[in-house]
Amino acid sequence: MVGIKEPGTETQKRGGNASPFAGLFLAIALAGAAFWAGQHYPPNPPAGVAPTPPASPSVVLPVPGSGKQTTVSPGMLIGENTIADIASEASKSVVTIDTSSSVILPDSPFGFDRSFRDFEFFFGPSFRFGPPQGQRKFESRGSGSGVILRPDGYILTNNHVIGNADKIKVALSDNRVFEGRVVGKDSFSDVALVKIDAQDLPVARFGSSKTLRAGDWAIAIGNPLGLEHTVTLGIISALGRSLSALQNNVELIQTDAAINPGNSGGPLLNIHGEVIGLNTAIRGDAQNIGFALPIDVARDVAQQLLEYGKIARAYVGIYMQDLDAKLAKALGMPESAKGVVVVRVAPDSPAEKAGLTQGDVIEKVDGKAVTTSKEVQQLVRSHKPGQSLNLLLFRNGELTSLPLKIGDYPAEALESSR
């Protein structure tokens, strides 16, 4: 065909007796040159298309505590031994906490204190079922986990792990066992601090829970059902969860890393082996729905317990409800109005002293618009007792500014939140 040449025809004609393999060698050489050029001189991408970044080289990482190294290949999120290495190192700072407490119960075959007059009616006055009536002392036992906070024997755990225990035993990863004593505990956040008489303990590496995202890796270590130093792997499922069991006091981390009874107080780790939470609770009617207390909250509470022996917690003393269209109309506000309604004011509270009344609608706290009671709580808790804040209220058809001095959370309120 005119204007078209068959590949290789001209070369064969000019070469005369050239080897039939010459074309193959030339093709290989050209392909190699093209490959070399492609590797070292990549062509410019078409307009509007971002250039492809070069492949990342393999990364050599040290294996903590072993003196060995592991290689993470390009494109891999974690190496083959990453989780095992993290668990091996982190487990050194995880402890088992066993508690016991005395419980006095009525000495009755039915578990409650009552006379046997009902039985005497049927069987006569000489009838006695079981031993003489009185009280019997029993020992209640519990088990949980904890994290070494300081090398001089301070252990971080959950308040519900300690409870009202008479005796506390702390077992370290090297099998040493110590008597523990409670330095302080806070039922509001479910944090407790325990001290043992030991030195030079391996301290956990602490990260921050402020930068977490749903989908991040999560590793739980603890002693579920007495199975010491159990390791489970999952992800951060969600953030900002609340539990009625904690009176919605703290926003928790949700994870699908398996957590079971006995895990409480143990660490939830990130992929760097840093503690990001204390495993705290599970949903008993579900699978793989566990909750951890953010480590930033736990460490702040522990620090206050160490320094002051108690927690300074902001208190205003109001019960709130989010404003909806129906409620707004009833209060004489536009149905599109936003805010939080004060439904009750606690007697002798900072709110009552400031003049806050039932039916007031909080629209702003310190100049920040609020639409939910949760937002009001967060802004109040960002202050310390003794500090003041300013509320912008809708009251009797007009806006009113009201200063309020924050009080300290009363002990009776804390007791009711247990």
Catalytic-labelled residue, pool 237, 264, 360, 373: 264
Q: How far is CA 121 from the centre of its chain?
A: 58
Partners of 242 in the β-ladder: none
Q: Which amino acid is at 30?
A: L
Burial of 262 (0-12, 13-18, 19+ CB in 10 A): buried
Catalytic-labelled residue, pool 160, 186, 237, 373: 160
Give, as one character, the DSSP assignment of residue 197: S
Is 244 part of the annotated catalytic residue set? no
Side-chain half-sphere of 365: how many Cα atoms within 13 Å? 24
- Tell me the C-alpha distance between 116 and 114, whole Å: 7
Residue 190's SS3 state is coil
- Tell me the C-alpha distance between 358 and 31, whole Å: 83
Cβ atoms of 284 and 195 closer than 8 Å: no
Is 264 part of the annotated catalytic residue set? yes
Which of 375-409 are b and which e, b meaning 16 or more Cβ less than 10 Å from the residue's Cβ? Answer: bbbebbeebeeeeebebbbbbeeeeeebebebbeb
- Tell me the C-alpha distance between 131 and 111, whole Å: 13
Q: How far is CA 296 from the centre of its chain?
A: 9
Sign of CA dihedral 109, 110, 113, 119: negative
Catalytic-labelled residue, pool 190, 209, 256, 373: 190
- Tell me the C-alpha distance between 330 and 334, whole Å: 10
Side-chain half-sphere of 18: how many Cα atoms within 13 Å? 16
Catalytic residues: 160, 190, 264
